[in-house]
Amino acid sequence: MSPNEFQGSLALDEPPQEFSAPLAALWWDAKGDWARAHSLVDELESTEGMAVHAYLHRREGSLSNADYWYRRAGRMYYRAALEGEWQALVQGLLVQGESAA
């Protein structure tokens, strides 16, 4: 799936079933449902899940919580605009999904 196709999927009522939990969380975030997005990654122990978890806490404004999850994900705090971080996470997860297929 391309980033444009991902954007197009936002017209749906639910994320496509093939989406990983971190990708579905970003989908719900784009739809404005932070709580649903957070619930998908809240207990994920994968690097991708923790990176999306960090991003969501940053979006929420809880920077100390975001810093904790960035460290758990092995990433430095991402200081670009939130939209840029969202796009980079989606792109990375889509590429990762293609290589796993």
In angstroms, the CA 64 to CA 1 distance is: 33
Digit-coded pLDDT (tens) for 8-62:
999 999 999 999 999 999 999 999 999 999 999 999 999 999 999 999 999 999 9
Mean pLDDT on 62-72: 93
Q: What is the pTM of this model?
A: 0.90
Does residue 79 surpass a pLDDT of 70? no
Based on the structure, what is the number of domains in the chain?
Answer: 1
- C-alpha distances (whole Å) from 19 to each of 60, 77, 80, 101 are 23, 25, 25, 12
Q: Which domain holds residue 12?
A: 3-100
Question: What pLDDT score does 76 carry?
Answer: 76
Q: Where are the alpha helices (DSSP H) in 19-81?
A: 21-30, 34-41, 47-60, 63-72
Give per-residue pLDDT as tens, 85-99: 999 999 999 988 765
